[in-house]
Amino acid sequence: PYLVMEFVSGRSLEKKICSVGHLDVHEILRIGSQLAQGLAAAHKQGLIHRDIKPENILLENGVERVKITDFGLARAVHDDLNLSYAGAVSGTPPYMSPEQAKGERVDHRSDLFSLGSVLYAMCTGKAPFLAENWLAVMRRVVEDSPRPIIEQNPDIPRWLRDIIAKLQDKDPERRYQSAAEVSELLDSHLLQLQHPASDDFILQRT
């Protein structure tokens, strides 16, 4: 038996960030919306990715269409055998959710925290949680807030910083509750930026 996979000619979001540093707001919204849309599709099929990070996001050459890769840690939402082992930690520390870092049971909202961390990296050019070793990073994920985006990139608007902060809330109940909602929200703000004359269409929803 064998598995046929799509070949994607392009580079990872990680390489793009390393090359250019922080991205402009239009790019952040475009890539972020597509990423959220991809997560929504996976979640609809009952899958949790559990390792959303810039390295696992491919940008197709030319159009930079977003492709989510490496579902090696993905698990079904109702797969109790894989999702509820106490103390089991899977993922990449700078981008994992607090519940992942604590080895707790996770659901689709864990991916939303990671989405927020990827958006943070696109805004600042850096991962949100950094420390001298992985254990210290995981402790920061659980206990600390990331360095404020405005201190690193004052060009990021307040409404986008608020969206990211809500995605990165330590409590899953206080995050956005679906990737589809986040995709729609980012799309709406992108549309407003592309058509700034529509002053009556300014969206403040966060």
Catalytic residue among 60, 64, 181, 184: 60
Is 60 labeled as catalytic in the residue annotation?
Answer: yes
For the stretch 81-120, what's the b/e string if a residue is b when 16 or more beta carbons lie within 10 angstroms of its beta carbon?
eebeeeeeebbbbbbbbbbbbbebebebbbbbbbbbbbbb
Q: How many angstroms separate the Cα of 87 from the Cα of each of 78, 102, 145?
A: 18, 7, 23
Total residues belonging to the chain: 206
Cβ-Cβ contacts under 8 Å for 199 (sequence gap 6 or more): none
- The Cα–Cα gap between 36 and 34 comes to 5
Active site residues: 60
